[in-house]
A and B are shown apart, each in its own frame.
Chain A
Amino acid sequence: MKFETIEYKKYDETIYKYEHSSGLKCLVVPKKGYYKKHATFSTQYGSVDNEFVIPGEKTQTRVPDGIAHFLEHKLFEQKDGSVMDKFAALGSRPNAFTSFNQTVYLFSCTDLFRENFDLLLNFVQNPYITDESVEREKGIIGQEINMYRDDPGWRVSFNLLDAFYKNHPVKFDIAGSIESISKITKDTLYKCYETFYHPSNMVVTVVGDVDHIQVFEQIEKNIQATEKTSEIERIFPEESDSVNKIYVEQNMPVSTPLFYTGFKDNNFNLQGLEILKYDLAVKLIMSMIMGKSSELYAKLYDKGLINSTFEMDFSIEKSYAYSMFGGESVNPEAVKDSLIKEIRKFRSNGLDPQTFDRLLKASKGRFLRQMNSVESISRMFINLYFKGVTMFDYLDVYDTMSFDYIMDVFDMHFDIERMALSVVKGTSK
C-alpha cells in the first residue's frame, strides 16, 4: 500500500496521506493517548453549488436552494432503516453538517472504531431516498428553517452577505427557504448525489489514536472502485465588484442591536499556500486595527459601543471572500464610522511592525492550541483540503509571513468603498 508520511517533529505531529484508485483522498492525523477517534467523510458540495454542468453533459442544471442540506438529511436513511440507529448501537455520535462549500458526515467514538468507520464509509455511498420520505423531511427541515429565522445572530450575518452580494448564492440560507425546498424531489436529490458524491470529489479524515494502515485498508475494502471523473463545472452568477447594498436592517425581538460590518473582497482568485498566506495576513491586520489590544477596541469598549460579544472573522473560498466585525452595540453606525476613521488613520500613518510581530506570535500560539482537539483538527483539515493545502502548512506560513506582505494586503482588503453594515434591532414600541 502506498501512502505518504509527513512529520512535524517540532510540534509532535504527523500526517499520513493516501489516495484510492477512484480519486478519493484520505488523511490520518494520529493523536496518541487520545480517547476520541474522529472520522469524517466529506464532499466538496455545499449550499452555493446550485448551478453546474454534470460531467459528460452539455447543458447546465439548476437545482432548488437548500438541496445540498436536504440531501445530507436524507442520506441518514437507508434501505434497512436509519443509519443513526446503527451508530447508536455502537455508542458513537454520528452527525453531519452542510456549509457553503462542503457537506460533512462524521462520527466520534471511543470504542469499536473499525465498525463505526465501515458504517460511515458505507452509508454515505448508499443513498436510499423515497418520495414519501422526501415529503416527511420537508416538515423537519421546515422547523429547522423556522428556528434559524428566529435566531438574530444567524439573521444578522446572512443579512451582511445579502448586503455584499447581489447574486452570489452564498447570500442564501444554507437550508434554503420553505418555498425552495417545496420543489425538491427524489429525482433531483439523486441527480445531485450522482454528480457530487463521486469519490474523486470527496475526502476522508481520521484524527485520533488509530492505526493508519488499518484505516487505509478499510478504505480499499469499502470504497467502490469507480473510474475518476472529470471536474464538475460549477456556475456562479455574474457578481459586481462593488457591494449590493451598504446597509441592511431587520427588526426582531432583541434588546440591544446586533450588527456585523465588514469588507467584500474580490481577491479570492488564489491557489494553495497563497490562500493561507492571504487569510492569515487579513486576520492579523484585523487584529491590529480592532483586536483586543488595539486603541480602537479600548476606545469603543470604554464608550460602551462594543462589549465582550465583539468578534471578527475572515472567509476566503473559490468564488468569494469577505471579512466580518460584529457583536452587540447600542450604536452600530458609530462603530462602523470609528472603524473607517481608524483605517484612514492607519493608511496615512502606516502599520506598526512591532504590533505585527507580537500578533504573529500570539496567533501562532492560539493555532497550536487548536491541535488539542480532534474536532478542531479535523474541521481545519477538511476546510483546507479542498483548497489544496493542509493545516500544518500554516506552520510554514507563520515562519515566512513578512511585514511587507502585510502592508500590501492592507491596501487590497480594507477598501472602504466595499464596506457594508447589517443591523438587527428590536421593534420600537
Chain B
Amino acid sequence: MTSTNVLEEKLEKIAEINGIKVYNIKSNRFKTNTINIFFQDNLDKDSVALNALFPSVLRRGCSGLPTIKDINLYLEESYGAVFDCGIVKKGEKQIIHFYFEYVSDKYTSDADRNFQKALDFLLNIIYKPALQDHSFNEQYVEQEKSNLKMLIESRINDKVQYALDRCYELMCKDEPFGLYEYGTIKQIENITSSELYKHYKEKVSTLPVEVFITGELCDSDIEVLKNSLDSINRSAQKGLLSSIVKKYVDKVSYFEDAMDVNQGKLSLGFRTNITSNEDDYYALLVYNGILGGGMHSKLFQNVREKAGLAYYVFAGLEKFKGLMIIAGGIDIKERDHTKELILKQLDEIKEGNITDYEFKSTIKSLETGIQSLKDSQLQVVDFYLSQLISQTHDTLEGLLEKIQRVTKQDVIDVSKKIQLDTVYFLTSEA
C-alpha cells in the first residue's frame, strides 16, 4: 500500500448555478471518478413515456459524436470510460440519470485533465444532441421507440421482479405511483419526433437538477465545472409535488395473473402510512428488518427454514411512497397456506413477540448495510440523492444513530400502523 492517507469522505455542496445544485464527495480510495447528473420530475401519466424515451435518444449521438459507434470509440479511447443514462422511479418522482465514470488521472499514462473531457462529453450528450432539420434524428427516435416497446413487453421475462411491480401497480392503480416508469406501449407508439424534441427542450431547461461528482478532483476541475454550468441556458425551475403516503385501506384487494410457469409468485402489498421524514421511519426500518430483511428474519426463519415453503421470501420498503411488500416464490398449491403463515409473522410482532436475537441481528444488519454503502461511489450518491428527494437530511452516520436509538416498543407501535392492501399471485395456466 502507498502511504497516502485515506481522505475523510463527506457530502459537500460546492455550488448552485442556474438552478443546478452541485455536490462533491471527495475520496481517494477508488481507481475511478464519477459524474452523475440527475433531473427530477413528477411521475405523471402525460410525461412518463416521453421522459423514458428522450434519454435513449440522447444516448444515440451528440455534437461531434453523432453515432453510437462514435460514442463508443470515444469511451474506449478514454481508457474504457463508462457512460450510461436512463430513468428510475423513486416514489412519485421519475428521475432521469446521466452517468460517467473514468479512470483517475494518476492511473493513466497521459497527464490530460480527464475531468474536463468527461464533463464536456456528458453536457454535450444532454444539451447538444445529434440533430436533423432542427429536431431529433427521426431514425433514432423510431428505433428507440421500438426498443422501449420491447423493454416494456419483456417485463414478463423476470418473474420475480414482475410479481413485485404488478402488486404495487395494482395496489396504486389510481395514484401516480401505479404508473410503470417506462410508460405504456400505446403511449410510446403515439409519440412523434417533433413532440419528443419539444418535450426534451422544455425538460432539460426547467426540471430541478442535481450534480454529484465523486473521487479525486483538484481545484481547477471544480472551476471548470462552474464555468461549464454557467454557460447553460436554463428557465425558471419547475416546482415538484411530494409523494402522497397516507391512505387508509378499507378493503383488501385480490389479483391473480396466469402464465406458463412452474413456480407461483406471491406478493403482499402494504401501506405503512409512514413518511421518511417522520421519527417512526427509523422504527419502520427495524420492523421491516425483523419481519423479512435477511436470514435472521421471521419470514426467512419460519416460511423458508421451518416450513420449507419458499426458496426466497423477503420484505422490502418503498420509502418514498411509504409502502412495504412481501414476496415469495412458492409451490402453486401452497398459496393460501403461505399467505396465512406470512400474516402470522406480522401478528407476532404486533403481539410483541420479538426475540432479542431478532432485534439485535436486525440492528446489526442495518448497520452493516449502511457502512457497506460507503464502498461504492454510486451507492453513496444514490443515498444522498434519496435524502434530497425525501427532504430528510440524514448523513450515513446520522441514520445509523437514529436506528440505534429504536426500541422494541417503537417497533411494536409501528407494526400497528401497517395495513394489508393488496394480495397478488402469479400462477400457472389451468
Contacts and interface: CB of A to CB of B under 8 A. Distances in A.
Interface string A105-143: 000111100000000000000000000000010011101
B262 A35 contact: no
Interface stretch (B128-136, B149-157, B172-180, B272-280): B149-157
Contact of B294 (A93, A108, A254, A365): A93
Nearest to A144: B311
Interface in B130-183: 139, 143, 146-147, 150-151, 153-154, 156-160
Interface stretch (B39-47, B366-374, B407-415): B366-374
B123 to A, nearest CB: 22
A35 B371 contact: yes
B31 A110 contact: no
Contacts of B294: 88, 93
Contacts of B261: 150, 253
Contact of A368 (B76, B103, B153, B160): B103
A214 B367 CA distance: 24
Nearest to A149: B262
Interface stretch (A7-15, A48-56, A187-195, A262-270): A7-15
Interface in A58-87: 82, 84-85, 87
B260 interface: yes
Interface in A19-54: 30-36
Contact of A140 (B78, B159, B304, B361): B304
Interface stretch (B79-87, B200-208, B383-391): B79-87
B250 interface: no
B364 interface: yes
B277 to A, nearest CB: 26
Contacts of A152: 157
Contact of A307 (B150, B260, B368): B150
Given A110-B372, A369-B103, A12 B2 contact: yes
B296 interface: yes
A69 to B, nearest CB: 12
Interface stretch (B66-74, B88-96, B187-195): B66-74
A89 B103 contact: no
* Residue among A88, A144, A149, A368 having the largest count of chain B Cβ atoms under 10 Å: A88
Given A93-B368, A152-B157, A293-B76, A143 B311 contact: yes
Contacts of B311: 140-141, 143-144, 147
B305 interface: yes
B340 interface: no
Interface in A262-297: 291-295, 297
A373 B77 CA distance: 23
B406 to A, nearest CB: 15
A252 interface: yes
A36 B375 contact: yes
A372 interface: yes
Given A35-B372, A88-B295, A94-B295, A256 B364 contact: no
A292 B68 contact: yes
B308 interface: yes
A361 interface: yes
A258 B157 CA distance: 10
A401 interface: no
Given A82-B305, A94-B295, A111-B368, A304 B375 contact: no
Nearest to B308: A139
Interface string A338-368: 0000000000000000000011011111101
Given A35-B371, A328-B154, A358 B376 contact: no
A252 B311 CA distance: 22
Contact of A36 (B69, B75, B365, B372): B372
A143 B310 contact: yes
Contacts of A374: 375
B329 A147 contact: yes
B331 interface: yes
Contact of B68 (A254, A301, A364, A372): A301
A226 B69 CA distance: 57
Contacts of B29: 31-34
Nearest to B396: A35
Interface in A208-260: 252-256, 258
B335 interface: no
B191 to A, nearest CB: 17
Nearest to A33: B6
Contacts of A373: 375-376
B399 interface: no
B34 to A, nearest CB: 10
B80 A364 contact: yes
Interface residues of A, number: 74
Given A84-B295, A143-B329, A371 B150 contact: no
Given A34-B29, A85-B296, A307-B147, A359 B368 contact: no
A60 B151 CA distance: 49
Contacts of A91: 361, 363-365, 367-368
Contacts of A136: 308
B72 A291 contact: yes
Given A136-B308, A143-B331, A369 B72 contact: no
A361 B69 contact: no
Given A109-B368, A308-B147, A372 B30 contact: yes
Contact of B150 (A143, A144, A151, A256): A256
B421 interface: no
A106 to B, nearest CB: 14
Contacts of A33: 6, 29
A147 B263 contact: yes
16 contacts: A11-B31, A36-B372, A36-B375, A91-B365, A110-B368, A141-B311, A144-B311, A147-B312, A150-B261, A255-B157, A293-B75, A293-B76, A362-B76, A365-B78, A368-B107, A369-B32
Interface of B: 1-2, 4, 6, 29-32, 67-69, 72-73, 75-82, 101-103, 107-108, 139, 143, 146-147, 150-151, 153-154, 156-160, 259-263, 294-296, 304-305, 308, 310-312, 329-331, 357, 360-361, 363-365, 367-368, 371-372, 374-377
9 A-B pairs closest in CB distance: A91-B364, A33-B6, A365-B79, A365-B80, A255-B153, A88-B296, A362-B80, A110-B371, A362-B76
Given A36-B375, A146-B329, 6 more contacts: A32-B1, A32-B29, A93-B294, A143-B329, A149-B262, A152-B157
